[in-house]
Structures are given as C-alpha cells and as structure tokens.
Amino acid sequence: MPRITRRAALAAALALPAAGARAQVFSRPIRMVVPFAAGGVADLTARAVGQRISPLLGQPVVIDNRPGAGGIVAGQQLMAAPADGHTLLVASNGTAISRSLFRNLPFDPLRDFAPVVTMGAFPIAVIVAPNSPIRDVADLIARAKAQPGRLNIGSISIGSTQNLSAELFKIRAEIRAETVVFPATPQLVTATLRGDVDAAFEITGPIAGQIQSGAIRVLAVTSAQRAANLPQVPTLMEQGVPNYDVASWNALVTRSGAPAEAITAVNRAVNEALATAELREALTQVGVEPRGGSVEAMANLLAADTARWAEVIEKAGIERQG
C-alpha cells in the first residue's frame, strides 16, 4: 500500500497548480458519500479531509452519510449521480470485498468506480483478554494445532475486513479454528474478556481505550509494518505467519467516465492536504495512518484487494450474501 511521507507530499504540493486553477474544474458543491454512520473512522476521515480540500477545490465538500447493506446503499448513490466528478464515494476494504461477497451487487467496483486517491489506513489487532494464557501468536497457533477445530477466534460481521482477516490468518497459519461472529465491537470485546473466544481480530480505533488501559492485550497487528499507534506490538509476519499483510483503508472513488481533470484535481488536493501537520495530526488522533499517492496506486490497491478477498471468501467457504 503506498505510504506518503511528509517530505514527498510537500514536494508534490509545491509542484501543484494554483488552487484557483483547480477550482475552475468544479462548478458546484462536491458531495462525499460515506457508507457508514456519522462518528465512525470512515466518517471522521472524510470530514477531516473534506474540510481541508474544500478551499483547494473552490467548493464546499458536503458529507452525505448513507450507511447500510454493506456499502450498497452508498454505492447506489454514486451510480445515480452524474459522472462529472462532483460526487465522490468513500471506498474501503468493504468495497473490494463486496464484489465477491454479495450475490446481486448492483454495480461492479472495478468497472463502475474510478479510483481517485487513498486517504488513510488503520491497523487491525489480534487481541486476547489480559489474563489469557496465550502468550503470543506462536502460542496461539500451537494451541490451535494441538486441538484442531476447538479454538475460537472472534470478529464482527460476516464478510467484514476483520472477519476475513481472521479467515486469512487460519489459511496462512494452516490451522483449524472456529470463527465466531458478533454484531458489533462491544459484544466482541465482552466475549473476548469473558473467554468466550480465545482471540479476536478488530480494528484498533474502536478499542484504543481498552488497549491503553490494559483491559485488552494485543498479540499482533496484521499490517506488514508495525502500527504507528502500537510501535511495541510485532506484526503477524514478524511472528512467523507468512505472506500476511492486511490493513483497513479508506479512499475516494468516483464514477467511471468522470473527467480526468476532476480526478486529478481531487487527487492533488488530498495529497496536498495530507502534507500538512494539521491534517496528519487530526487523522492520527482517530487511529488513522495518513496515506496518499497516485490514482494508479489507488487502482492497484483496489484490484489487488478485490482478488485477495475473493480467494479468501472462496477458501473459507463463506456463502454469498443477499
């Protein structure tokens, strides 16, 4: 996944055309459709980025929360809008997953969405109760292999990134374990603390308070590099799980057929905003690692994750939804 350094982003920003020139691309407010409710990580990311790119693009950025149906409702809002670049969709791992997860998806993310830019990524943690006898990932794997099928691993929502991360862990670690799904993070955390599940996979943002207080112990993070907010926690690959690199991400896409100049203008504005200490700090505070990069990098990310999660869904035997 492309990572934008402050120096590189600043250099890119200095090479950009003036904000006035970019503003001429847009003739009315820019709508940013968020497939999650207000207050979540994706919503906070969209609001922070939208506020800072608005003056660069010369138009207000209006946040439109459209939660429900695994992102389908929000995707339909994008597809119903003109293909002129004035409507953006906050895409995520869920966008890549949806192509293989839903039986009757009313759009094809690879065909119907035009990648614009990555905004940020946030790590997923492998967690246990503080008093769990499981010391590390090697211990978790050893226990699973000693008692095949008896270990329980928790996650939220079938087909979520957390859920598929748990399934990918089982595949890469070559273990048999039961994946137990909960409707939301509070129930997952409660089950972990009670010992109803032996370990769980969850995004770090919603459980940051429990991690910092010691109410939850983190065995590993799923990304290839250690998480900025958990630098002391080793990755799964560091602990012997091969070829494992997963991080949730948020990005912007628009409708295929949108003018190239509109896509380029938004990409450049987001990269310029991400070069500022103010936005980087705002994202870091909600557990998001600022990311940016080219349109092509965003396209490669979406395509690669779509292929990866299709393979995991098939190998895990997850039935198509809807």
pLDDT tens for each residue of 165-218: 999 999 999 999 999 999 999 999 999 999 999 999 999 988 989 999 999 999
Q: Give the model's pLDDT for residue 11.
A: 47
pLDDT in tens, 15-47: 444 555 555 899 999 999 999 999 888 999 999
What is the CATH number for 140?
3.40.190.10
Q: Give the model's pLDDT for residue 23.
A: 59
Instruction: Give 29 or 3, the one with higher predicted confidence.
Output: 29
Task: Establish if 229 belongs to a structural domain.
Answer: no
Q: Give the model's pLDDT for residue 19.
A: 54
Cβ neighbours of 321 (radius 10 Å): 14
Q: Give the model's pLDDT for residue 14.
A: 46
pLDDT in tens, 50-92: 999 999 999 999 999 999 888 999 999 999 999 999 999 999 9
**Shortest CA distance to 216 belongs to which of 200, 228, 229?**
200
Q: Which domain holds residue 106?
A: 6-122+248-316
pLDDT in tens, 215-274: 999 999 999 999 988 999 999 999 999 999 999 999 999 999 999 999 999 999 999 999
Q: Average pLDDT in the 91-107 region?
A: 93
What is the CATH number for 266?
3.40.190.150
**Contacts (Cβ under 8 Å, ≥6 apart) of 210:** 189, 216
Is the domain of 53 the same as that of 118?
yes
The last residue of a domain, from among 170, 205, 221 = 221
Task: Establish if 239 belongs to a structural domain.
Answer: no
Residues, the chain: 322
Q: Give the model's pLDDT for residue 31.
A: 98
Is the domain of 254 the same as that of 115?
yes
Q: Give the model's pLDDT for residue 21.
A: 54
Alpha helices in 15-147, H assignment, sequence order: 19-23, 41-57, 72-80, 93-101, 109-112, 137-146
Is the domain of 157 the same as that of 108?
no
**Contacts (Cβ under 8 Å, ≥6 apart) of 244:** 168, 169, 172, 222, 235, 236, 237
Is the domain of 206 the same as that of 310?
no
Q: Give the model's pLDDT for residue 2.
A: 45
- Total domains in the chain come to 2
Is the domain of 150 the same as that of 176?
yes
Task: Establish if 116 belongs to a structural domain.
Answer: yes
